[in-house]
Amino acid sequence: MRGRGGWGYPLFERSRELGGGELSAPRLRSDTPEKAGLDPGELRHLVREVHDLTTGQRPWAAGAVVAAGRGPVIAVAEAAGWAVRYAAYDPKTDRGAELPPRARVPMTVDTPFDLASLTKLFTAVAAVQQIERGTLGIDARVGAYLPEFRAAAEHGITVRQLLTHTSGLRPELPLYDCPDDATRLAMLRAEPPVGVPGTYTYSDLNLLLLQHVLERITGRRLDALVHDGITRPLGMTSTRFGPCPGAAATEDQRRPWAKADRGMLRGEVHDENAWALGGVAGHAGLFSTARDLAVFCRTLLAGGSYGPARILGPDFVELLLTPPGLGFAVDQPWFMGELAGRGAAGHTGFTGTSLVLDPATDTYLVLLANTVHPRRRPPDNRPRARAATRLARAVRGS
């Protein structure tokens, strides 16, 4: 079940070895649903429903890519709709101004997407890598690493609280309205918790502070940590911080519905704060493809290894995914559907991206869409939940 630009994967070669004599973890390959131990009928429904999401005058998304599989097999890799469909958004008609057909860009399975908050998962993995190495304490206070972040230091915010969104920090700050980097940094340093520490409040600021911690203890930028510690060893060559020419378009970003006046965005980070911070941020900024994210999911399901590479040990993958999850959301039916309930982990992104991996069934689902093209609207997570439910039923019906 492949859409435009389908992939091929090398078969697992058992002669390849990890350090210490361990056999390589199997690499992904494309094959039939039956070879993956999945019901082909449910996956046909999944593919049809993803195509339906991109049709009509007011589609859920202009375009989408879905990848799903079990074990080392990708059983679905399908593209639908358009990577670029609209020239602009018309607030008078509340519709997108459609490009002529010849000027539109069709979606393919290799189209990169602005991952938005899926970036948080990579920041979380980078943090757990430092925990594994002993350079970062999970229950250490942020002030021990960043004493100049006086508000976080005074309130005893810990690394664990940043990773579990229990620091009490507000969801975001208007860094995009600051005149320069120094003002933005001063605002972050002075920001105190507004909620009760220990109580869950989802916040981009948690991952921004964690980015500063990681950069302080390693002496390296976050983009280098992600590249050298995650994407390069896993062969995720399409995953990087922007700009990313050829990415699916996102929003005609203008006030008052957006927080900045930037016009139609394609290949530049959508999140206004990440843009203000130069495109590299702990909470947003990465671009990637469905194939690369399937590799990321497979690596975690395999205990941190993929092919000859190991990015985390199994105990630290377990730490990452054990409820409530470090960076990852765990067992959330609102976007995981019937996959939720036995330890499924994943995340969503504002631009329309999501992924779910389920250790209980060894399955993974990547659904990437440009739902904010041509402009943002209240999120509708029902299509994500339906897609995940199709995969759960494909396991049960196999």
pLDDT per residue as tens digits for the range 296-315: 999 999 999 999 999 999 99
CATH 3.40.710 positions along the chain are 32-48+76-119+235-381
pLDDT at 57: 86
pLDDT at 165: 98
> Is a pLDDT exceeding 50 seen at residue 16?
no
> Is a pLDDT exceeding 80 seen at residue 14?
no
pLDDT at 30: 97
pLDDT cut 70: percent of the chain above it: 94
The mean per-residue pLDDT over the stretch 183-200 comes to 95
pLDDT tens string 281-291: 999 999 999 99
Cα 308 from Cα 282, distance rounded (Å): 27
Who's near 157: CB < 8 A, 6+ residues apart?
Answer: 141, 142, 143, 167, 168, 169, 193, 197, 209
Instruction: Count other C-beta atoms under 10 Å from residue 332's C-beta.
Output: 21
CATH 3.40.710 fits 32-48+76-119+235-381, yes or no: yes
pLDDT at 193: 96
> Is a pLDDT exceeding 80 seen at residue 20?
no
CATH class for the domain made up of 123-222 = mainly alpha
pLDDT at 23: 59
> Is a pLDDT exceeding 90 seen at residue 295?
yes
pLDDT tens string 199-226: 999 999 999 999 999 999 999 999 999 9
Average pLDDT, the chain: 94
The DSSP bridge pattern shows strands 29-30 and 73-84 to be parallel
Q: Are 394 and 39 contacting, i.e. CB atoms less than 8 angstroms apart?
A: yes
pLDDT at 3: 41
CATH 1.20.58.710 positions along the chain are 123-222
Cα 294 from Cα 365, distance rounded (Å): 8
pLDDT at 77: 98
pLDDT-based confidence at 197, cuts 50/70/90?
confident
Out of 22-26, 148-152, 267-271, pick the least confident.
Answer: 22-26
> Is a pLDDT exceeding 50 seen at residue 35?
yes
> Is a pLDDT exceeding 90 seen at residue 9?
no
Nearest to 175 by CA among 209, 225, 144, 201: 209
